[in-house]
Amino acid sequence: MAASPPCLNAAVSQRRRSLDGRALPRVLAIGGSDSSCGAGVQADLQSIAANGGQPVVAVTALTAQYSRGVTASVPLDPALVVAQVEAAYADDGPAAVKTGMLANGATVELLVRQFRATPPPILVVDPVIRSSSGAALLDEEGIEALCARLLPLASLVTPNVAEAEAIAGMHVLTLDDAKEAGRRILAMGARAVLVKGGHLAAAPATDLLVTADGALGFAGAHFPGREVHGTGCAYASAIATHLAHGCALDQAVRAAKGYIEALIGTAVRVGPGALMADHVAAAQMVQEGAR
């Protein structure tokens, strides 16, 4: 793993401090509950805490999952989802909001209405459409609402290759394809797009940050054969947390990518399928690398 960026070191150090009991930026994660605790809001809250934030969550759906995939999923009433978001704002409002699994169009529409009424300082949208095992996690109405109404509110969108293909309407096989997909998503109104290249055959482990100013690549360590459950959720939440700390976007991505590399490197096997992340071990690895 590469040396830890200063932005990441500062956030981890701040995790140990408290000023008037309010030193840590609050980060709201909106997404599904994963019974395996590998992905969803369970991954979000662990990633936020490990990267120096105070997590708060709003659950959109209850899912039954294990290392090989999703076995059941039930969306919550969209009004209850919004009630959870409103509760998060009833205390000190979050410094950043990250969305993941939104389940259906009704939930997306109500969240868009909420975000327009109370714009988040930072909004990171992880456009979860399907699980890594192929289970649908957002219905067709939800995909349409996501593209037409949620993405224009996003500070950053973090699609993987499959999600970038679905949203941009094109095949993504190379870094040039990823750049074009990012540009198409920018044209939908997002301020920045991070196309994650973990499944990009031509350039594995290279993520591409696309903004109006151009494209910036983030190459990283490749871990062939190590499929880890929930890294997409953890990555987006880590970025949101570093942005909440005031990091520049490229610094936040670099810091979060370093954390995800540690997460993949320390993941453990608990069943016959994907490995499970160990956020405590990953945070320790990052801290040791900062010394």
- Calpha distance 37→33 (Å, rounded): 8
206: alpha, beta or left? (left if phi > 0; alpha if psi -120 to 50): beta
**CA-based nearest residue to 61, from 8, 139, 134:** 139
206-211 and 123-125 strand pairing: unpaired
What single-letter amino acid sits at 187? A
Using CA atoms, how far apart are residues 179 and 220, in angstroms rounded to an integer?
A: 18
Residues 6+ apart with CB under 8 A from 5: 251, 254, 255, 258
Q: Which residue stretches of the chain are H helix? A: 6-14, 40-50, 78-90, 105-117, 140-145, 161-168, 175-187, 231-244, 249-266, 279-290
Q: 């990250």: which residue's tokens?
A: 98
Phi, psi of 72 (to 5 degrees): -160, 150
Residue type, 280: V
| pLDDT value of position 1 | 44
Instruction: Please report the domains of the chain, with CATH numbers, ordered by start residue.
Output: 6-290 (3.40.1190.20)
**Contact (Cβ atoms closer than 8 angstroms) between residue 98 and residue 28:** yes
d(CA 48, CA 238): 6
- pLDDT value at position 18? 47
pTM: 0.93
Residue 45 in contact with residue 29, Cβ under 8 Å? yes
Measured distance CA(228)–CA(241) in Å, rounded: 21
* Residue whose entry in the numeric block shows the structure tokens 């990091």: 247
pLDDT computed for residue 3 by the predictor = 41
C-alpha closest to that of 208 among 220, 196, 221: 196
Q: Which residues contact 19 (CB under 8 A, 6 or more apart)?
A: none
Per-residue pLDDT of the chain in tens (291 residues, 90 and over written 9)? 444 455 655 555 555 454 455 579 999 999 999 999 999 999 999 999 999 999 999 999 999 999 999 999 999 999 999 999 999 999 999 999 999 999 999 999 999 999 999 999 999 999 999 988 888 999 999 999 999 999 999 999 999 999 999 999 999 999 999 999 999 999 999 999 999 987 777 667 899 999 999 999 999 888 888 899 999 999 999 999 999 999 999 999 999 999 999 999 999 999 999 999 999 999 999 988 876
Per-residue confidence (pLDDT) for residue 30, from 0 to 100: 99
Q: Which two tokens stand for residue 123?
A: 């909004």
